[in-house]
């Protein structure tokens, strides 16, 4: 029997969705505690001093999530938690039947998501950087994919889980920014229509078609959160210009 597991999460957060997808794919039961990232509760600093999600309370007794048991261990960082869920599930997300090379490919793919796609997403959304960087990141990612299927063909793994939430939100960010910035709309159009990215589009449809993605992705909430954050950033930028 597995220990008590409480996930501190947020429906808008791509990092948290990774862990929720991992739980969904493996069928491991856990308790869920939603954190409002724009108005974090004071008590959450007792769970995670960085005030970020996801965080996981592991072990100890089942208690009010705002007061985790002193016998619980608090673990953070989405990649760490996805690996933990894989370990708890006897490697369902990276099966031991895979060859060492296949496992290496999966781990390399995850580093490319972290080193290329995530910075491009963050740069476009929070720093006003050129959306062209997203095209470069997506191209690098699709070059690692086989002709069909997921990263490792028919085997869906943690590598695909790590990619899915950010690929979905990247398109949302481009769509919202593109309402006012033609370059962002052009980037989105390229991703959605250019033959160069046809492999990306098939992969995107495959991973976002998984039940684990569909049940953990809340598009209306994601769009509202991104819109609100962009509005806050625009207000802060305007205040900076006036000062």
CA dihedral 113→170→229→131, nearest 10 degrees, is 100
Residues 151 and 232 in one domain: yes
Residues 60 and 157 in one domain: no
CATH number at residue 9: 3.40.30.10
CB atoms within 10 A of CB 14: 20
Residues 53 and 31 in one domain: yes
From the list 38, 32, 45, the residue with the least C-alpha distance to 12 is 38
**Residue 67 falls inside a structural domain:** yes
Examine the fold and report which residue of 61, 88, 115 is the final residue of a domain before the chain moves on.
88
122-178 tens-digit pLDDT: 999 989 899 999 999 999 999 999 999 999 999 999 999 999 999 999 999 999 999
Distance from C-alpha of 157 to C-alpha of 17, rounded to nearest angstrom: 15
Q: What pLDDT, on a 0 to 100 scale, did the predictor assign at position 241?
A: 67
Q: Are the CB atoms for 33 and 7 separated by under 8 Å? A: yes
**Residue 95 falls inside a structural domain:** no
Domain that holds residue 190: 100-242
Q: Which residues of the chain have a pLDDT value below 70? A: 241-243
- Cβ neighbours of residue 216 closer than 8 Å, sequence gap 6 or more: 17, 20, 21, 24
Report CA-CA distances (Å) from 60 to 16, 22, 71, 130.
22, 22, 5, 47
Examine the fold and report which residue of 29, 59, 88 is the final residue of a domain before the chain moves on.
88
Examine the fold and report which residue of 88, 110, 134 is the final residue of a domain before the chain moves on.
88
Residues 122 and 232 in one domain: yes
Number of domains in the chain: 2
Tokens of 194: 């250019």
Q: What pLDDT, on a 0 to 100 scale, did the predictor assign at position 235?
A: 87
CA dihedral 95→90→59→74, nearest 10 degrees, is -10
Residues 61 and 105 in one domain: no
- Indicate the DSSP class of residue 91: S
Residues 123 and 226 in one domain: yes
């Amino acid at each position: 029997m597995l220990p008590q597991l409480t996930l501190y999460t947020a429906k808008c957060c791509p990092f948290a969705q990774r862990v929720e997808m991992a739980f969904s794919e493996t069928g491991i039961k856990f308790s869920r505690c939603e954190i409002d990232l724009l108005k974090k509760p004071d008590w959450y600093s007792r769970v995670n001093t960085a005030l970020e999600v996801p965080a996981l309370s592991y072990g100890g007794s089942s208690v009010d999530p705002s007061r985790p048991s002193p016998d619980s261990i608090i673990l953070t960082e989405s990649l760490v938690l996805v690996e933990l869920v894989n370990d708890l599930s006897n490697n369902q997300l990276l099966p031991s039947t895979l060859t060492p090379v296949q496992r290496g490919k999966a781990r390399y793919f995850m580093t490319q998501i972290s080193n290329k796609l995530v910075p491009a997403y963050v740069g476009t959304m929070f720093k006003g950087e050129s959306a062209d960087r997203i095209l470069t990141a997506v191209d690098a990612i699709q070059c690692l994919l086989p002709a069909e299927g997921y990263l490792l063909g028919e085997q869906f793994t943690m590598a695909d889980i790590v990619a899915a939430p950010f690929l979905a939100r990247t398109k949302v960010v481009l769509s919202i920014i593109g309402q006012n910035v033609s370059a962002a709309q052009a980037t989105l159009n390229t991703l959605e229509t250019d033959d160069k990215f046809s492999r990306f589009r098939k992969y995107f449809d495959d991973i976002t078609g998984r039940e684990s993605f569909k049940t953990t992705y809340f598009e209306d909430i994601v769009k509202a959160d991104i819109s609100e954050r962009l509005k806050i950033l625009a207000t802060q930028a305007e205040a900076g210009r006036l000062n």
